[in-house]
Amino acid sequence: MEQNITEVMTHLVFQIAVIIFAVRVFGNLAEKVGIPSVLGELVAGIIIGPYALGTIPLPGFADGLFPLNSASLAVSPELYSFSILASIILLFSSGIETDLKLFLKYSVTGGIIGFGGVAVSFLLGNITAMIMLKTNFMDVRSLFLGIMSTATSVGITARILSDKKKMDSPEGVTILAAAVFDDVLGIVLLAVVMGIVSALSGGAAVSGGKIGLIAFKAFSIWLVFTALSIIFSKQIARFVRLFGGSSDFTIASFGIALVLAGIFEKHGLAMIIGAYTTGLALSSTEIAPVIQEKIHGIYKFFVPIFFAVMGMSVNIRELADPAVLIFGFVYTALAIIAKIIGCGGPAFLLGFNLKGAIRIGAGMIPRGEVALIIAGIGLTAKVIDQELFSVVILMTLVTTLAAPPLLNVLLGMKGRGTRKEIKSSESQQFIWDFKDEEIATLILDMFIEELRKEGFYIQMLNIAEGVAQARKGDISLAVAAEGSKLNIQTAMEDMGFVKGEIYEVVLRLNNSLCSLEALKNTNALKQGLINSENRVEPAIIKVISKDVISSELKSTNKEDVLEELVWLLEKSGKVIDHKAVLADIKARENIMSTGLENGIALPHAKSDGVKEICVAFGIKKEGLDFNSLDKKPAKIFVMIVSPKSGESPQMQVMSSVTGILQKTELRDKLLAANGADEILSVIESVNKK
């Protein structure tokens, strides 16, 4: 019985809700064990999909939440449409992230290596299909398996290069440049093959000459649209900016990507080619970093849905079939060899030694997003069947898992990867050490604000770690805060501007600090914390446990009590570096004593020595000198330490604690308590009121 539109949409809403949670759970689990979240999302789709748990009957869903639609389209057309939109977002983002300048600058080296990798991968993938399927070279299945073997997922490699500080090494730059050519050549090949598939779909025989004409037409369509998009990229950027602010022109840019995707599909090519072309064109404009940042939220929502839907299309019975496994492992092994030979061979001839050549080949091994998209296109177009789709999934999983450990080992080997010593590039790196992490962060914020005033577009690549990219016209800056240091990379001719801007920021900050120094009455600010009406958050008070309470502190002076409290903190299991915590606590005390009034002391600090906020509670009934505000001995000590990075409610905990301890009756009960259990009982009684 045909469902009405309301039932279909209700079913779709439930499906998307389940997918959202499933991909995040499995994606996070994958990252925790050190593998890309993409694989976790793919596995999530396999598990909840129609070939596994998806067809189990549930209340309100007699055929299961994810019933099998058909052999060529496992999920419902409505859900599949979400994955199509996700694939367009994915390729649009990939195009935006492409460094066109790097593409042109390393066009010779990157082009030769990228072409070598694509050519050898395509040939070996195609030949594997010919042998295993007993068919010919021009069979569309052979062509598709050839293309799916070409697409490198450079994001995995880039993360490893970044972790190893090898992004700007000869191997790192070459891999990234070759990957750009790899993507472009893969898109061109897909355009050609889709043109052939479109021509063959009529059922008529097509001669070799006709195939050549079809391929030329498909390539010409791609080339014309790409060339025009890049030539008129600045005009396109100006057009989308007419729609308003950064969020508005980002949406307008994606609208253009959808238009171009539709045009390519109408011409018998894949929609993702149009999306990639739009992104590639806009990548060289000054609005590219902003689009990249603003589209991130949409990307995070849609793209995991795509990988889940791809996982749902995997028939696990087919995947477990011995014939599929043999085919899959042969195809995978040759896909790995193809990149090492195809990319490593040309690299060896272009000045890299054997070590460097193998590093480059290994860096090009991972396949991922694009291979899955092409596989999905092939499956829905009925070019490949479930068996071949499973082969591609297996290849994607193995290459993605195998490449990171292999590349880590190769990059860890001592010695350069080039035959000759390579001199530093035109780009300069300047590092300022401000000796204080908070000062460095403050200067970074002020510097970025000044760049915005200068007309730069700022993209926060990693807000938590203070990593940003700024771009205006031909000027590009990479800015990063590394502890107390500020690291800026830019072209040599722009470094004078950077130094001048930093100098002005430092002068302004210094002037502000001098003005602040004139405010001597800091005790008035300190007393603002002491208020019996402070909000007491029950959840925050729960961070205090019996293990971190001492009813009889042994110390007789301030320095010793700080050390005793840090040892007490260790019992929370959250301290990872005792010395770092103690040093940070003492450094904070040296700025100004944390002794308050009424016998209360709140020593606190932010430290890399703890993994999350922790609290120690101690009583010294006879009291000791803590340089308190009221000059009286401190008797109740609460030490609060939270990590320097990430979210942590340190001030909320301090405010809650002072709010509790301002009550005379409660302080008296704490001082009269015998043992940690009684102290904890007094503290917990606050939550019960």
d(CA 165, CA 424): 15
Determine how many CB atoms are found less than 10 A away from the CB of residue 379.
Answer: 22
Q: Write out the two tokens for 93.
A: 């983002």
Residue 266 contacts by C-beta under 8 Å, 6 or more apart in sequence? none
What three-state secondary structure class fits 544?
Answer: coil
CA 279 to chain centre: 19
User: Are residues 460 and 468 in contact, defined by beta-carbon separation less than 8 angstroms?
Assistant: yes
DSSP letter string, 590-658: HHS--B-STTEE--EEE-TTBSS-EEEEEEEEEEE----TTSPPEEEEEEEEE-SSS---HHHHHHHHH
d(CA 150, CA 115): 10
Structural element, H or E, at residue 526:
helix 522-527
- Which one, of 399, 335, 390, 394, lies nearest residue 367 by Cα? 399
Q: Write out the two tokens for 99.
A: 């460094």
Structural element, H or E, at residue 488:
strand 485-491
3-state SS record for 379-436: HHCCCCCHHHHHHHHHHHHHHHHHHHHHHHHHHHCCCCCECCCCCCCCEEEEEEECCC
604 assigned to active site:
yes
- Which one, of 188, 224, 193, lies nearest residue 211 by Cα? 193
- Which one, of 545, 217, 153, lies nearest residue 363 by Cα? 153
- Which one, of 441, 485, 450, 499, lies nearest residue 470 by Cα? 450
H helix runs in 528-577, sequence order: 538-541, 558-570
Catalytic residue among 11, 296, 578, 604: 604
| Angle, in degrees to the nearest 10, between helices 140-148 and 386-412 | 30
Characterize the bridge pairing of strands 600-601 and 604-606. Answer: unpaired
CA R_g for the chain: 31
Residue 233 contacts by C-beta under 8 Å, 6 or more apart in sequence? 281, 282, 284, 285
Determine how many CB atoms are found less than 10 A away from the CB of residue 67.
Answer: 16
Residue 376 contacts by C-beta under 8 Å, 6 or more apart in sequence? 83, 87, 309, 310, 313
Determine how many CB atoms are found less than 10 A away from the CB of residue 154.
Answer: 22
Q: Which residues are catalytic?
A: 604
